[in-house]
Amino acid sequence: MGRARGANALLVGKIESSYGVAPAETEWNQLPFVSSALSGENALIEDDSLGQGREPFDPILGPHNATGDLTVPVDVRSFGFWLKLFFGAPTTTASGYASGGWTFSDQPSTGSTITVNGVTFTFRSSGASGDEVNIGADLEATMTAVAAALNASADPDVAEATYAGTATGVTVTHDTAGLAGNDFTLAASATSNATVTGATLTGGTMSHVFTSGSYALPSAALEVAHPELAKPYHPHLGVMANTLRISHQRSGLLNAVLGMVAQQETDPSASSLATSPTQRALQRFVQARGEVQLAGETLANVVSAEFSYSNNLDVLEDVRPDGLIGGADPGMAMAGGNLVMRFADHVLFDAATAGEPVSVTRRWTKGANSLAIATPRLFLPRFKRPTEGPRGLQFTANVLAAKPSSEAMVTATLINDVASY
């Protein structure tokens, strides 16, 4: 066996049914991570006995503590697992409609075909019937005829979508929002002169809305693996999410730092708690494609921003024979962060001076996927505006969120192609 290396480390996780109890070995998730300081420890307590000379007796092991930070990528799919730990189960609904189509470089040849969700349509010079389409006087006329034939089809597999002709192609939009449309297939023969957007429609998405303020939060089992070791698996049980910090700037990788509190790290094992964990394709949100919105409009002149959230977990340090904590209860939630901006107007300064809250949303997008973290009632202090040289003036405003009368203090909306969390 070799020496453990971070390059080969793996992290898997699953929501627990009962706090601190290892869940069943199926339906675990393999989770991307950047670094982990989550680990168990028992500090040594020096013996204070006297009467046996100047040299001390043996120390004893103190209680077990398992805390630390996890740094994870803010990505399209796996980040929902962490949001569930911080806010509880989301409200999930179907949102985006899958779409795709064909682009034609020229008129299709007689006898060439396109295939729609397994149903083949053939191009004819004239006399088309059934699943056939007449080639028109020009390409636009042919595209109109294709769309008309597909929209008129009585085949239930074809009727799942709506079709529209353009000057050089046909667009396909699935009629049902959500993930079902992502399995709708498209194809074309070589002599059709058509290029397909993909083997299936894409862009059917689900919207997962996480809100702060839940009285009860889930716990998770996490297992870090170092394959080089004889006992590679290091399980952590009763893991709860305490603090969250996301820094947002123009460049670099978008990561989140998660402060975690676990009941215990069990002894290393030669066998894993998880069998065939699900590995979702990693697609990171990009710093350069993010924005900070003020009342729904992009806020200009933002140099950097940070979002922070805390569940202020109240750790139950009760007396028990195993030396573990008894649990961690959610305390008073807190959300805030900061905004670093160039001084170009008095919009935020006036709001701070008046003591009026503003609505701020931090948002990142990647194709049809997005993450938006909204704080509808955010307060700013009256902040300093130093002049420190010939360059542009810049200020830092540390912000605090509060609960509106009819909304949550924080709402995180993750839109992706995951069915549920």
Report domain extents, the chain. Answer: 72-88+243-248+281-416, 94-206
Tokens encoding 310:
């805390």
- Distance (Å, rounded) from C-alpha 170 to C-alpha 145? 10
For residue 68, the model assigns a pLDDT of 96
Yes or no: say if 313 and 371 are a contact pair by the CB < 8 Å rule. Answer: no
Which range has the worst mean pLDDT, 2-6, 139-143, 254-258? 2-6
**Bridge partners, residue 114, by sequence:** 121, 188
What residues form DSSP beta bridges with 133? 123
Look at residue 343 in the predicted model and tell me its pLDDT: 80
Please list, in sequence order, all residues whose beta carbon lies within 8 angstroms of the beta carbon of residue 328, skipping any fewer than 6 positions away: 238, 240, 242, 261, 263, 313, 314, 315, 316
Query: Distance (Å, rounded) from C-alpha 42 to C-alpha 64?
Result: 5
Would you say residue 332 has pLDDT above 80? yes
Are the folds of 72-88+243-248+281-416 and 94-206 the same?
Answer: no
Query: Predicted confidence band at 1 (pLDDT cuts at 50, 70, 90)?
Result: low
State the number of CA atoms in the 13 A half-sphere of 92 facing the CB: 15
Domain 94-206 has CATH 3.40.50: no
Could you tell me the two tokens for 223? Answer: 């297992």
CA-wise closest residue to 299 among 372, 220, 359, 217 = 359
Q: What angle do CA 185, 189, 195 make, to 5 degrees?
A: 70
Contact indicator for 161, 183 with CB cutoff of 8 Å: no
Q: Which of 181, 212, 237 is nearest to 64 (CA)?
A: 237
Return the DSSP state at 24: P
- Residue 299, pLDDT above cutoff 90: no
Q: Give how far Cα 94 sits from Cα of 101, 158, 205, Å.
A: 22, 21, 6
Q: Give the position of tokens 């989770």.
A: 31
pLDDT at 352: 75
The strand pair at 29-30 and 278-279 is best described as parallel
Q: Average pLDDT of 377-381?
A: 92
Residue 200 pairs in a beta bridge with 185
The whole-chain average pLDDT of the chain stands at 94
pLDDT class for 350, splitting at 50, 70, 90? confident
Mean local confidence (pLDDT), 341-363: 85
User: With 80 as the cut, is the pLDDT of residue 210 above it?
Assistant: yes
User: Under DSSP, is residue 8 helix (H, G, I), strand (E, B) or coil?
Assistant: helix
Q: Beta-strand (E) ranges in 161-219?
A: 161-165, 169-174, 186-188, 194-196, 206-211
Write down the pTM of the prediction: 0.91
| Mean pLDDT of the 137-165 span | 97
| Per-residue pLDDT tens over the stretch 37-46 | 999 999 999 9
Rounded average pLDDT over 193-220: 97
Q: Is 272 exposed, middle or buried (0-12, 13-18, 19+ CB in 10 A)?
A: middle
Helix or strand holding residue 86 (H, E): helix 79-87
Q: Sorting pLDDT into bands at 50, 70 and 90, what band is 271?
A: very high
Q: Please give the Cα distance from 169 to 145 (Å, whole number).
A: 11
* Contact between 210 and 88 (Cβ < 8 Å): yes
**Average pLDDT of the segment spanning 217-237:** 96
Which comes out higher in pLDDT, residue 383 or 101? 101
Tell me if the domain spanning 72-88+243-248+281-416 has CATH number 1.10.3470: no
Count of other CB atoms within 10 angstroms of residue 386: 11
